[in-house]
Structure 1
Amino acid sequence: MTQPNLDWHNLGFQYIKTDQRYVSSWRDGAWDSGTLTEDHLVHISEGSTALHYGQQCFEGLKAYRCQDGSINLFRPDQNAARMQRSCARLLMPPVPTEMFIEACRQVVLANERFIPPYGSGGALYLRPYLIGVGDNIGVRTAPEFRFSVFCTPVGSYFKGGLTPANFIVSSYDRAAPNGTGAAKVGGNYAASLLPGQEAKNQHFADCIYLDPATHTKIEEVGAANFLAITRDGRRLVTPKSPSILESITKFSLLDIARDRLGLEVEQGDVLIDGLDAYSEAGACGTAAVITPIGGIQHGEKFHVFYSETEVGPVMRALYDELTGIQYGDRPAPAGWIVKVK
């Protein structure tokens, strides 16, 4: 197996074309058997609803090379379930869980040479997506659908890996109060491009979104979920809202915090004017893993958590436990790991 000429320790988070991807089509009420293809281009009708009306959703998960050479998929059943919820919101046919996991498994095996080696800090990022296709012009659900999974080797999403990053509160809303915020759909991300760029123009890693109804409570950190540790070090708090995309990483961290670190966990309101209650904070997600938050700019005030340069002890412990499970170095809770090889 020829290895690609890549600097495994400095990958970053960017597209790298790999060997094969999985494709399946939905027609006449059923998915076909699916296949692997070397063609990385998507050929669809110019009338496809994905192009004009945003009828599409996607997922993100990773495969990890373990020290013994085996390959782990982390909680793919939860990605399948979340995609099914997104499909229901956008009137798209759901991909069955077994089909979703098998597609991911095939893609990992077909592109095994692109999995970053154990110890590099990298992983193979999988991007399942589902789009409405077929000849159409009216505002209605598509006549056909395409489900595909491709992959690319990645490193850290935010520059610097497990180092604190600073964020700024945005005046924009990520999603409407009763909109598609809880679904992983492209429109939410398109809306985030401008505020995200404005944050970067001001030398922040990304922006913080407040709740769209009152603009008083933290909801998301760019494309990641927010979590914080109370000053007494005993509780992990994360926002709860119907317009948040619920992160599989976040729910995994809640379990780890409760069951392995002995913390109390709480989903509730995180007031933007109440940040003094927290000693540490972080952004979490499949891509970000955990990015400690050094500080948050809100209006004229800049609030610093544990440090702008050092990682707090709880964020470090959560990161070590989560990545230890993903790379097979620490025991995983039942059902969290699917062995690909």
Structure 2
Amino acid sequence: MSNSATPSKKAAFGSVFSDKMIVAEYKDGQWSPGKITDVAPLQLHPAAHVLHYASTCFEGMKAFKMANGEVKIFRLDRHIARMAQSASLLHLPIPSPQELESMIREVVETNKADIPEPPGALYLRPTLIGTEANIGAAGAPSGEALFYVLVSPVGDYFSGSTKGLTIAIEDQEMRSTPGFGKAKTGGNYASALRHVMRAKKENQADQVLFCPGGDVQETGAANFFLIDDNRIMTKPLDASFLHGVTRDSIINLARSMGYEIIEKDFTVDELLEWIQHGEAALSGTAAMLSGVGQFILHGETHPVGNGEVGPNTQKLREALLAIQSGKAEDQFAWLK
């Protein structure tokens, strides 16, 4: 591996990389074949489109080692489709779905010796950037691009902690530009960062839940659920927030387990009423499903239960991990 640290809960998620990545270039209207290379700094012209006009998108997914030694990628097709959606919004050229799948599989096969045992996994970061050297192209897409896939052996992001997260509620400003929240692009994370850093400084919060005008949307890096013994409530998909693959997986899994799924717009007031008897959680590829222990709104703390990860959140998380690791039947055909 490229870093001296070993993939474990002690190493920061995404800070350890395998030695090999795959790279493809777009020039003169066509993509080059993917090529396995050493992980090393990229050579970019100082005028590269991505450096000035943020023409970039990415994905995050995981490959797991099964008990029989096979390696399978979780919901590869869904991640490829979402990356194509992001690229379209950014007017970036992108390899075909078949080419993307082939390159992702090749880089996983190349680095499969680095895959830790479940709940660890090989985290995959396909990335697409505009590389055309033209600082006059503020109003035009990049005619050249680079696609690459980094892989990172990761341990248990959740790390067995029972303490819930502290989430600050931002009830005025939005996380991203209207209509662009569903793109998995760096600019959306950058626009949320100032709110997250302020919340960490002022309230020791772990994340910020964006609720512009009181409309509960998502955090700076994850989708959001309200959960109780019988129901799960979450905002219906629209262009204001990321269409999370883990979100979709939790919804389908929970429905199969007998939970009623409620997809509706809801307010901060409804959230605060729900947590008097129920649970709250964040979903994403890294943490899967992480429980919330308390919310902070206008300096006031609103506890969720006893402040620990709720039993339904824990049950759903374990059920998802069991499918990902091959310990439970893959009834949805998510592993490829």
Aligned to 1:306: 305
Partner deviation per Cα, 1:178-222 (whole Å, 9 max, x = no partner): 3x21100110011122111122222111111113xxx21211122
Q: In the alignment, which of 243, 246, 251 is matched to residue 249 of structure 1?
A: 246
SS in 2 for 1:322: helix
Aligned to 1:224: 222
Percent identity of equivalent pairs: 33
Aligned to 1:6: 6
Question: 5+ residue gaps in structure 1?
Answer: none
SS in 2 for 1:125: strand
Question: 5+ residue gaps in structure 2?
Answer: none
SS in 2 for 1:227: strand
Aligned to 2:88: 88
Contact kept in structure 1, 2:164 and 2:307, CA below 8 Å = yes
User: Distance between the aligned counterparts of 2:289 and 2:163, measured in 1?
Assistant: 9
Q: TM-score, normalised by structure 2?
A: 0.91
Partner deviation per Cα, 1:98-153 (whole Å, 9 max, x = no partner): 222222211112112321123xx321111001000022122111121111101111
Tell me the amino acid that sits aligned with residue 271 of structure 1.
Answer: T
Q: CA distance change for structure 1 residues 207 and 156 in 2, over 3 Å: closer, same or farther?
A: farther
Aligned to 2:233: 237
SS in 2 for 1:218: coil
Aligned to 2:189: 189
Tell me the amino acid that sits aligned with residue 67 of structure 1.
Answer: A
User: Distance between the aligned counterparts of 1:256 and 1:284, measured in 2?
Assistant: 13
Q: CA distance change for structure 1 residues 141 and 224 in 2, over 3 Å: closer, same or farther?
A: same
Tell me the amino acid that sits aligned with residue 230 of structure 2.
Answer: R
SS in 2 for 1:337: coil
Aligned to 2:127: 129
Q: CA distance change for structure 1 residues 158 and 210 in 2, over 3 Å: closer, same or farther?
A: farther
Q: TM-score, normalised by structure 1?
A: 0.90
Q: CA distance change for structure 1 residues 287 and 32 in 2, over 3 Å: closer, same or farther?
A: same
CA shift, 1:226, in A, is 0.0
Contact kept in structure 2, 1:257 and 1:318, CA below 8 Å = yes
Aligned to 1:173: 174
CA shift, 1:177, in A, is 2.5
Aligned to 1:206: 207
Contact kept in structure 1, 2:123 and 2:153, CA below 8 Å = yes
Contact kept in structure 1, 2:17 and 2:153, CA below 8 Å = no
Contact kept in structure 1, 2:189 and 2:220, CA below 8 Å = no
Partner deviation per Cα, 1:267-314 (whole Å, 9 max, x = no partner): 2112111121240110000012111011111114322223312x2221
Partner deviation per Cα, 1:220-254 (whole Å, 9 max, x = no partner): 12200001124xx3221111342110100000010
Q: In the alignment, which of 255, 260, 267 is matched to residue 258 of structure 1?
A: 255
Q: CA distance change for structure 1 residues 79 and 195 in 2, over 3 Å: closer, same or farther?
A: same
SS in 1 for 2:54: coil
CA shift, 1:264, in A, is 1.3
User: Distance between the aligned counterparts of 2:174 and 2:159, measured in 1?
Assistant: 25
User: Distance between the aligned counterparts of 1:103 and 1:92, measured in 2?
Assistant: 18
Aligned to 2:31: 31
User: Distance between the aligned counterparts of 1:299 and 1:159, measured in 2?
Assistant: 30
Tell me the amino acid that sits aligned with residue 318 of structure 2.
Answer: D
Q: Figure out how many residues of one structure are paired with residues of the other and give that number.
A: 327
Q: CA distance change for structure 1 residues 324 and 163 in 2, over 3 Å: closer, same or farther?
A: farther
Given the alignment of the two structures, is residue 297 of structure 1 paired with residue 296 of structure 2, yes or no?
Answer: yes
RMSD (Å), alpha carbons = 2.1
Aligned to 2:314: 316
Aligned to 1:277: 274
Q: CA distance change for structure 1 residues 318 and 306 in 2, over 3 Å: closer, same or farther?
A: same
User: Distance between the aligned counterparts of 1:334 and 1:318, measured in 2?
Assistant: 15
User: Distance between the aligned counterparts of 1:145 and 1:98, measured in 2?
Assistant: 18
Aligned to 1:164: 164
Tell me the amino acid that sits aligned with residue 37 of structure 1.
Answer: T
- Does 265-274 or 285-294 show the bigger shift? 265-274
CA shift, 1:8, in A, is 3.4
SS in 2 for 1:302: strand
Runs of 4+ in 1 over 3 A off after TM superposition: 7-12, 156-163
